[in-house]
C-alpha cells in the first residue's frame, strides 16, 4: 500500500471517528457542571474564584448598567454577597452547543434581605453564554431577570 493510500485510509478513519467524539459531548452535562461550579464558588464567598469563571472581556447584565470585565464582575458579585445575598441556586433548563459556544437557559434563586430585614427568596430566568477555553468553560455573557 502506497503512502497516498495510507493517507486516504487515515483520512477516512478520522472522518468516521471524529463525529463520534464530537457527538459524545453533552451540552446539558457541561451546562449543569458550569452552573454547579458557579453556585458553589459564589456561595462559598470565593470571589477571586468566581471572577475566574468569566472570560477577561465578559459582560454581566443585571437590572441597571452592564458590568464588563472579570475584575469588575467579581467586585459586583462581592457587593451582592456583602449585602447578604446568599444560597444561590441555578436550575439548567436547556443547553445548546454552537461550535465552541454553549448557550444555557434556566432558572435562578437566592435569598437576600427583604423588607424589615427579613430574609426573602428572589428568583427568575437566567441566561449564560459560555465559551470553551481549552478544557474549561468561561462565561462571556450572563444575564437574568
Strand order in the sheet with 101-113: 67-68, 54-61, 136-144, 119-133, 101-113, 86-98
Q: Which domains does the chain have, with CATH numbers?
A: 26-144 (3.10.450.50)
DSSP 134: T
Cα(90)–Cα(35) distance, integer angstroms:
6
**According to the model, what pLDDT value does residue 20 have?**
33
Distance, CA of 35 to CA of 41 (rounded, Å): 10
Q: Picking from 2-16, 17-31, 33-47, 69-83, which range would have the lowest pLDDT averaged per residue?
A: 2-16
List, in sequence order, every residue forming a beta bridge with 53; answer none if it has no partner: none
Q: How many Å from the N-terminal Cα to the C-terminal Cα in the chain?
A: 63
What pLDDT, on a 0 to 100 scale, did the predictor assign at position 7?
31
Give the CA angle between residues 27, 31, 33 to the nearest 5°.
120
Q: Give me the percent of the chain exceeding a pLDDT of 70.
A: 83
Residues 6+ apart with CB under 8 A from 108: 88, 89, 90, 91, 123, 124, 125, 126, 144
Q: How far apart are CA 55 and CA 140, in angstroms?
A: 6
d(CA 62, CA 64): 6
pLDDT at 137 over 50: yes
Amino acid at each position: 500500500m502506497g503512502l497516498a493510500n495510507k493517507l486516504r485510509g487515515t483520512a477516512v478513519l478520522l472522518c468516521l471517528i471524529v463525529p463520534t467524539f464530537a457527538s459524545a459531548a453533552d451540552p446539558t452535562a457541561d451546562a449543569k457542571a458550569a452552573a454547579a461550579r458557579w453556585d458553589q464558588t459564589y456561595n462559598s464567598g470565593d470571589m477571586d474564584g468566581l471572577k475566574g469563571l468569566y472570560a477577561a472581556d465578559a459582560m454581566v447584565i443585571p437590572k441597571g448598567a452592564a458590568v464588563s470585565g472579570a475584575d469588575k464582575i467579581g467586585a459586583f458579585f462581592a457587593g451582592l454577597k456583602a449585602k447578604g445575598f446568599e444560597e444561590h441556586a441555578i436550575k439548567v433548563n436547556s443547553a445548546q452547543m454552537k461550535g465552541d459556544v454553549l448557550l444555557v437557559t434556566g432558572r435562578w434563586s437566592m435569598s437576600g434581605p427583604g423588607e424589615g430585614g427579613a430574609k426573602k427568596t428572589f428568583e427568575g430566568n437566567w441566561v449564560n453564554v459560555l465559551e470553551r477555553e481549552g478544557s474549561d468553560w468561561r462565561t462571556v455573557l450572563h444575564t437574568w431577570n
